[in-house]
Chains A and B, each alone.
Chain A
Amino acid sequence: MQIQIKCSCGEGSCPEWAIIEVQGVVEVQPSFQDRLQNLEIGQLCRPSSQENYTFTIGYHELTGSKVALKKPMLVLKKVKCMDIDQSSDNQSPGTELEVVGIIRHRILFKTRPKALISKPQPVVKDRASPAAASSSVQT
């Protein structure tokens, strides 16, 4: 069996995806467990012109930086294709893989979080956003 890896974007126009990587797991408060959609995780902030970033999740602040990946990462998507005219004997509906993006950078937060107890949380102030329902847990 052969699965062709397709690519409709071509070299110059392959859309770039991004990664924000933190240590451990972000735990969502139980009441929000079932409706994560559109829920805010946190605020990403670039305080200066350097490639340093903070990520504020609930009461925690992480400090990290933007790093280039040693090797690029392709985002592949499995696509089920129903080839009706190409009735290939008894094979189940074929699968194809398609290159849908490339990742060259990630914003990596590899330090432990700092607790923001004295400061008010910016997320709570903003009533328009979904509730600040996240907090970070370190492994």
Chain B
Amino acid sequence: MEIMEQAHPVCRGAGAVLNLQPSSSISIAYHTHFGPHDDLILLEVDEKLLPDFFHQRVSLRGERSEDAVLCTQSKTYSIKFVGTSNSVFLIPPPDNSILCENSEDCNGKDNHKAIVSVIKVAPGNMELVEVAPRLDKLKLLLSEDPYSSREASEFEDLEEMDKSITKRMYSWDDLVDEVQASDNELRSGLQAISAVEIDGYWRIVDEKYMSTILIMLLHNSVLNDWSLDALNEDEVVSMLVSDGFPLKLSHHCLHVFGSKVEEGAGGSCLWRLDERRVCVHFAREILVEGKRKMDNFMEEWKQKVPKGMHPDFEMLEGEVLKEKFGVESWVHAFSVSSLPSTPAERFSILFRERPKWEQKDLLPYIRDLNVPGLSLEGLLLKYTRRTQPTLDAEPVFSAR
């Protein structure tokens, strides 16, 4: 207290340090509010991310039990603390109202002596490391309660009752709270698992139910002589609705199995069914009950797909695996979309499925792995052992 009365130092801040004039000096002191100030955090940020911070497009996401990630609109970053053994004296700007509850502290008029105050000694700072979005949880959450035919048919009369017995459903805001991914990554994640927003909740649709709609759509196109390359959205959808399918799901079917080829003038669009997606769907349906002999499977597959489509085993990469037992070949479902997206877990499951992989078989199961800063070659080096018996032989990958 004595000190305060004796001297009326001009409290100056960071600027006085940064703009210290040549041949002058300044006194550096502990601030009136010097302390640990754990609520002040230093975050190292790439220059190009600064606008996102200044325009408030950044948030931290994660449950209490998870390590928080930082999300911009399009990317996800993990946050890492980097400690230092140096003493980092942190100097705020002058009259920092955030720190001085009463700015009287800093208002000495007497220009007797210039003092710059240190508010805290920072033990280190936070750094950002770009990471892949953590989307496995998204699939898990939406699988709790897939939309099924039961819900579609009961919807009207049992709406109230249904709500009370349904498991948890997730709106966009719920997903943002639960899933550690940026908005853009979350949106493409939803698209990748063919989720659809129904009555404000994001849902995946039971595969059997999707199949029923698709079969009805194919059936209608035969009856009406529609070309699968130029389906009129309005006609297709209204027909499906009259068959008893909800409007939203009828549109969804086109999105899942087709792509828009032409924006119609009167608001109606033309869609083309995607041969690969339709064929893969029927292959999965056959193999849902278990493994099959190759010949047997191919025969049934050819019968199931719509006329004009040509199923080819190559279409099934990343979906179906072929194994040789003696002279016989067997196939079974093994879908890349059912595998975890963290590389360590992914490779562990892959090598449990098959101890040795040829490159052409392995690639479809790892191509989608997204590790910022690590290429596919880098991933293979890190998680596999590569052997090549002879120079011109196909390389074989096994667990490290």
CB-defined interface of A7-39 with B at 8 Å, one 1/0 digit per residue? 101110011111111111110000000001111
A11 touching B51, Cβ below 8 Å: yes
Categorize the interface residue count of chain A: 35 or more
CB-defined interface of B116-139 with A at 8 Å, one 1/0 digit per residue? 111000100100000000000000
Contact of A129 among B7, B96, B125 (CB under 8 A): B7
A-B interface contact total, Cβ < 8 Å: 201
Query: Does B374 touch A at the CB level, under 8 Å?
Result: no
Known contacts A15-B93, A19-B90; A41/B60 CB under 8 A: no
**Closest chain B CB from A47 CB (angstroms):** 7
Contact of A78 among B7, B31, B41 (CB under 8 A): B41
B24 touching A46, Cβ below 8 Å: yes
Query: Does A3 touch B at the CB level, under 8 Å?
Result: yes
Q: For A41, what are the chain B residues with a Cβ–Cβ distance below 8 Å?
A: 28-30, 89, 118
Closest residue of chain A to B57, judged by CB? A5
Stretch at the interface among B61-69, B258-266, B338-346: B61-69
**Closest chain A CB from B90 CB (angstroms):** 6
Q: Indicate the member of B20, B33, B176 with the most A CB atoms within 10 Å.
A: B20
Q: For A6, what are the chain B residues with a Cβ–Cβ distance below 8 Å?
A: 56
CB-defined interface of B63-77 with A at 8 Å, one 1/0 digit per residue? 110001010000000
Query: Does B198 touch A at the CB level, under 8 Å?
Result: no
How far apart sit A59 and B7, CA to CA, in the bound complex (Å)? 23
Q: For A100, what are the chain B residues with a Cβ–Cβ distance below 8 Å?
A: 40, 96, 98
How far apart sit A42 and B4, CA to CA, in the bound complex (Å)? 18
Q: For B50, what are the chain A residues with a Cβ–Cβ distance below 8 Å?
A: 11, 72, 74, 102
How far apart sit A51 and B15, CA to CA, in the bound complex (Å)? 15
How far apart sit A7 and B228, CA to CA, in the bound complex (Å)? 52
How far apart sit A48 and B30, CA to CA, in the bound complex (Å)? 26
Q: For B296, what are the chain A residues with a Cβ–Cβ distance below 8 Å?
A: none
Query: Does B349 touch A at the CB level, under 8 Å?
Result: no
| Contacts of B80-99 to chain A: CB distance below 8 A | 85-93, 96, 98
User: Is chain B's interface secondary structure helix, strand, loop, or mixed overall?
Assistant: mixed
B93 touching A99, Cβ below 8 Å: no
Categorize the interface residue count of chain B: 35 or more
Query: Does B27 touch A at the CB level, under 8 Å?
Result: yes
Query: Does B17 touch A at the CB level, under 8 Å?
Result: yes
**Closest chain A CB from B23 CB (angstroms):** 7
How far apart sit A23 and B84, CA to CA, in the bound complex (Å)? 10
Known contacts A38-B4, A71-B44; A45/B28 CB under 8 A: no
CB-defined interface of A109-127 with B at 8 Å, one 1/0 digit per residue? 0000000000000000011
Q: For B54, what are the chain A residues with a Cβ–Cβ distance below 8 Å?
A: 7, 9-11, 14, 99
Q: For B117, what are the chain A residues with a Cβ–Cβ distance below 8 Å?
A: 38
How far apart sit A24 and B54, CA to CA, in the bound complex (Å)? 34
Query: Does A130 touch B at the CB level, under 8 Å?
Result: yes
How far apart sit A91 and B46, CA to CA, in the bound complex (Å)? 32
Q: For B22, what are the chain A residues with a Cβ–Cβ distance below 8 Å?
A: 46-49
B86 touching A22, Cβ below 8 Å: yes
CB-defined interface of A52-68 with B at 8 Å, one 1/0 digit per residue? 01010000000000100
Chain A residues within 8 Å of B, Cβ to Cβ: 1-7, 9-11, 14-26, 36-49, 53, 55, 66, 69, 71-79, 97, 99-103, 105-107, 126-130, 139
